Structure 1
């Protein structure tokens, strides 16, 4: 499929009874920085569909896991993604952010990542390289703690619809 002019960011988390949430962060194999799962959309996909696909491809996250909409929306310069693929007038693309609840602590990493860690919020925030990841992590952590997560429709299941972006 052809790449759509947007990016997605997925932050996996675990809620453990009586403990603070843990967040999975991933070390990029090519440059060694820590980040969430990130990738490009494909034409015909919604950002949520792209998030599910990228999370499955990069981490083996089951498609049926529950995803949560985040308001965090950044723009990424096209030169940091794939150049001027969409023509000379598209200089930045939006990055849509999601949280995904994990029911198992294990991932199946693609060759894009060399390792992952489950860490509390403060450690994840310190290790993450990109400001967009830090902003989305802060929002996700705040939503979890205040019980303000917005669940998105599961494939073939029921759930709240995401608000339009």
Structure 2
């Protein structure tokens, strides 16, 4: 029985799957947006999809880990282009949500359902920053884009402001 395991690993191509912890550069990037609100030691970055049908151009983080197919998987997002760093911060917002016991998978599914049912007219990522509206008053995808925009220095850091007022 155990002699079949290596053959099974090769057949299923499991040897191509890898995961890693966050790098020190990625943690430093995240701290500029999230401070110490995330338990960075719990986070893993994986080079395989969360869902079997996950498109190659989609990164997901519904369960506290970041899942990216090889095209978008990077060994250290902190050393990548601004676009990859911004994408990484968006996904780390979902990690933050998950660590706050928010059901990212279910809420993401609802938002995607609304997007497709509206014939793609509803954009769950689009947001209008409102005074006196806290970070968690936006939907989970808007929160991801808000975190990205904080990282890009387009808006003030309402994540740390919201947490400071709690």
Q: TM-score range by the shorter chain?
A: under 0.3
| Structure ranking higher in strand proportion | 1
Calculate the TM-score normalised by the size of structure 2: 0.23
Q: Which has the larger radius of gyration?
A: 2
Calculate the TM-score normalised by the size of structure 1: 0.23
